[in-house]
Chains A and B, each alone.
Chain A
Amino acid sequence: MKSVRDHVKEYISENFLMGLKDSAITDDASFLDLGIIDSTGVIELIAFLEESYGIRVEDAEMVPDNLDSLNAIDRFISRKMFARASTMTA
């Protein structure tokens, strides 16, 4: 199974860069600083994450700390999945 980082990177490469060079997207690189994603792109990215991982991104979670790099997204998705698993087993 693909890691969250690889999965998201592939999505960004295909949908936002349309196959153009993506070597700048390192794990810690800020999407905003790279100019890859604006606020419209973030909404698109959120829809992708919600659909792919079966989560709901709340308004308060729509912050750069959660969504502005591959590492940030990886940490965020892990937390959301863990919270969901905890709820289901409780």
Chain B
Amino acid sequence: MELAKELNGTSVLALDYDRAIEDISRQFKETVVGFRRRGAIVAVSGGVDSAVCCALAARALGPQRVLALLLPERESSADSERLAMQVVEMLGVPYERKDITGALEALGCYERRDAAIRSVVPEYGRGWRNKLVIAGGLSGQFNHFYLIAAGPGGHRIERRLGLKEYLEIVAATNFKQRTRKNLEYYHADRLNYVVVGTPNKLEYDQGFFVKNGDGAADIKPIAHLYKTQVYGLARHMGLPREIVESTPTSDTYSLPQEQEDFYFALPYAELDVALAYLDSGRTAADLAAALGVDELAAKRIYADIAAKRRTTRYLHEAPVLMKG
């Protein structure tokens, strides 16, 4: 099958890993020196992107010029922290751990979010968990969001969200990414370091980040690499097997949530190929052949990529200055 060929790196996703590591390391060091900083802060989540960024930072600057931050909160998966510890121990980088639950409580993150959830699921309360799920794009519909709430007894409720509830849930949840970034810049200021942003190309291109949250950084060393390539780099750099073989999750909502649930609507490996095909001018028929889907489905994938680019364009924009 064509997808297997693409994923094995024989075509659009092929990458010379040694050369990529060398190129990124050189540019990384030049950037830090150019900014007249002395090292790099990396928030290590336990996922593959931050693990690769931390490894690249250690490679570029030396482990002692990197500070890794482990920033769990009460809804983070315990596995995430365990994997993050594996990364920092393997790389030999100094680290600090700070549980941000107290800060999030003080800001009203959980309380505001839960109030918004209760406006659509009144019984939502202690012991319940939640996540948002995207729907529509691949069926030719406009994208829209569902809330899934799971009660302590395990029963699940699904509700399509109106704009007000959706925005309130997302806005409250975004406290998590922004609080983490606050701490990253605290340490960066204290140590005269840069802050490393960890998005891969899919996340960066499709706007899967929080403006002034995980989207804020001084350097984004893997934002030009497809997720498939990031996994390849992780494997090539000998990062922990569990991370190399993990499924991407957002680890932001209290119910387990794969990124394709929440945002991407396609598994990352297929979306990587779709994005690469779109950007290299290949037709929907080419994509259909590569993914083993019909041409209408391929057209909808292209349309969904374009819609997300339109919707999230403002996330990339610098503040607009007025003309005098």
Contact = CB atoms under 8 A, between A and B. Distances in A.
A31 to B, nearest CB: 11
Interface stretch (A18-26, A34-42, A77-85): A34-42
B267 to A, nearest CB: 21
A39 B144 contact: yes
B136 interface: yes
A42 B260 CA distance: 21
A40 B310 contact: no
A12 interface: no
B162 A39 contact: no
Contacts of A35: 310
A50 to B, nearest CB: 9
B185 interface: no
Contacts, number: 40
A44 to B, nearest CB: 5
B136 A62 contact: yes
B299 to A, nearest CB: 12
Contact of B163 (A40, A62, A63): A40
Nearest to B166: A43
Contact of A43 (B139, B162, B310): B162
A47 B139 CA distance: 21
B136 A38 contact: no
Interface string A6-31: 00000000000000000000000000
Contacts of A42: 142, 144
B306 to A, nearest CB: 9
B280 interface: no
A60 B310 CA distance: 22
B269 interface: no
B142 A47 contact: no
Nearest to B307: A39
Contacts of B310: 32, 35, 38
A36 to B, nearest CB: 11
A43 B163 contact: yes
B136 A44 contact: no
A40 B311 contact: yes
**Count class of interface residues, chain A:** 10 to 19
Q: Indicate the member of A40, A47, A67 with the most B CB atoms within 10 Å.
A: A40
Contact of B162 (A32, A38, A47, A63): A47
Nearest to A67: B142
Contacts of B162: 43, 47
Interface string A44-65: 1001000000000001101110
Contact of B141 (A40, A44, A63): A63
A60 B135 CA distance: 11
Contact of A47 (B135, B143, B163, B311): B163
Contact of A59 (B135, B166, B307, B311): B135
Contacts of A60: 139, 141
Given A59-B135, A59-B136, A39 B311 contact: yes
A64 B163 contact: no
B163 to A, nearest CB: 4
A42 B166 CA distance: 13
The 4 closest A-B pairs by CB, nearest first: A38-B311, A39-B143, A42-B142, A62-B141
Given A40-B163, A43-B163, A59-B141, 19 more contacts: A32-B307, A39-B142, A39-B144, A40-B311, A42-B142, A42-B144, A44-B163, A59-B135, A59-B136, A59-B144, A60-B139, A60-B141, A62-B136, A62-B141, A62-B144, A63-B140, A63-B141, A64-B140, A67-B142
Interface of A: 32, 35, 38-40, 42-44, 47, 59-60, 62-64, 67
10 contacts: A32-B307, A38-B310, A39-B144, A39-B307, A43-B142, A43-B144, A47-B162, A59-B135, A62-B144, A67-B142
